[in-house]
Amino acid sequence: MMNPLIKICRIKLGEKLNYMTFDDQVLVSVIVPCFNSEKWIESAIRSVLDQTWGNLEILVYDDGSTDKSRAILESLSIKDKRIKILGDGKNHGIVHALNYLLSVANGEYIARMDSDDICVINRIEKQVTFLQEKNFDGCGSWFTEIGLGPSRVVRWEHTKFALKAAMLFQNTILHPTFLAHRKVFEHFKYRESYQLAEDYDLFVRVAQKFNLANIPEPLLYYRRHTGQATQSKRESMESVTRRIRLETLSLNNIKVSEEEKNIHNLIRAPQSIYNMADFEKIELWLLKLIENFQEPDAKEVIASQWTRTAIRAAPLGLIMFFKYKNSPIRQFINKKSDFDLLILSILKLSYESKFYSILRRFSLSA
């Protein structure tokens, strides 16, 4: 008879079953803030319970839910003692919830998870193994976006220097995919004043001291729905994001004028560009940024913002397209988007248009 202390997980791979013992696995704390997630919370938690990495504690902070979330969690915790439900019944907000969860986590590694997403079955195993073998301190992963339209795999920058350069413009680690050694969270906590973009703020600071990467493989199903903050509070989130972008320039010792600050934020602003002068100023600013980095993959990431800018400048028409093609930035750019960009400029398609949002869902991203 098998020793009851030995936990065994079976993973079906084709016609074969692999068996893993969890005796020697380090403890991973999975922290999950939860607020009114009755529709998704059970599938989210079950996807963690079913992980091939069994040595887990699942810490769920119920942030004053008024629906059936707490009852669902209590039912699950009765069946699996790895689940611990926390929270005082009041709503404190996600930053408080996350920092509290970090303060009680016991794992050598700490993983983020949201109450409306689904982990791939070997997500934790893949990430812990990656950190141990590659000598990184934290990592996210690619992810499959579901809900609000057709599903798609989102492939963000994944190498250390590319990721750090990408952070100049936007957060490029999906928060619920993040897993890090506990030392990362001993040095850095979430900050209340950056709520709605608290993850971006955290990763920008962490990247100055620790090695971060994305695993180039989708390890999470990320659910889009109208109730999440990224959908319902976009304007407020963009305001916080603009502040973080400028702070990221400072942390990277990049000198910037007041006009350049405005241009830098314009690069990732969530609307079309209708002024050719702004388009030309962005080109000059990107060329200056490229000079601040030595690593080829970092230069490529910065140059890619020229393509993203051109997509949003499509209302300017063919004059924009030819300016884009003749720019010295092009030496760093993959040319595969040229045809798409040509069509967008012929159509003078607005970034805010419904038709563009449909196209973006299938291929374009800016």
DSSP assignment string, 140-154: EEEEEEESSSS-EEE
How far apart CA 56 and CA 250 sit, in angstroms, is 38
Task: Assign residue 227 the CATH number of its domain.
Answer: 3.90.550.10
Q: 351 pLDDT band (50/70/90 cuts)? A: confident
pLDDT in tens, 243-289: 999 999 999 999 999 999 999 999 999 899 999 999 999 999 999 99
pLDDT score for 357: 67
Residues 222 and 261 in one domain: no
Structure token pair of residue 211? 């090695």
Query: How high is the pLDDT of residue 235?
Result: 85
Q: Is the pLDDT of residue 44 over 70?
A: yes
Based on the fold, state whether residues 111 and 150 are members of the same structural domain: yes
Task: State which of 231, 262, 297 marks the end of a domain.
Answer: 231
The pLDDT, as a whole number, for residue 363 is 54
Do 166 and 263 belong together in one domain?
Answer: no
- pLDDT by residue (tens digit) across 307-321? 999 999 999 999 999
Mean pLDDT of the chain: 90
The tens digit of pLDDT for each residue in 123-133 reads 999 999 999 99
Share of the chain above pLDDT 70, in %: 89
The mean per-residue pLDDT over the stretch 301-306 comes to 96
User: What distance in Å separates the CA atoms of residue 144 and residue 156, rounded to the nearest whole number?
Assistant: 11
Residues 224 and 282 in one domain: no
Question: Are residues 147 and 30 part of one domain?
Answer: yes
Q: Quote the Cα angle for 11-17-18, to 5°.
A: 65
Q: Would 336 be classed as within a structural domain?
A: yes
For residue 273, what are the contacts with CB-CB under 8 A and spacing of at least 6?
Answer: 266, 279, 282, 309, 312, 313, 315, 316
| 169 — pLDDT class (breaks 50, 70, 90) | very high
Does residue 28 lie in a domain region? yes
Residue 13 falls inside a structural domain: no
41 and 116 part of one domain: yes
pLDDT of 231: 55
User: Per the domain annotation, does 248 fall within a domain?
Assistant: no
Write out the residue range of the structural domain in which residue 357 sits: 254-362
Global pTM value = 0.89
36 has a pLDDT exceeding 80: yes
Q: Same structural domain for residues 31 and 159?
A: yes
Q: How many Cα atoms occupy the beta-carbon half-sphere of 318 within 13 Å?
A: 1
Nearest to 69 by CA among 27, 35, 38: 38
Closest CA to 100 of 121, 351, 90, 323: 90
Over 50: is that where the pLDDT of 53 sits? yes
Residue 12 covered by a domain = no
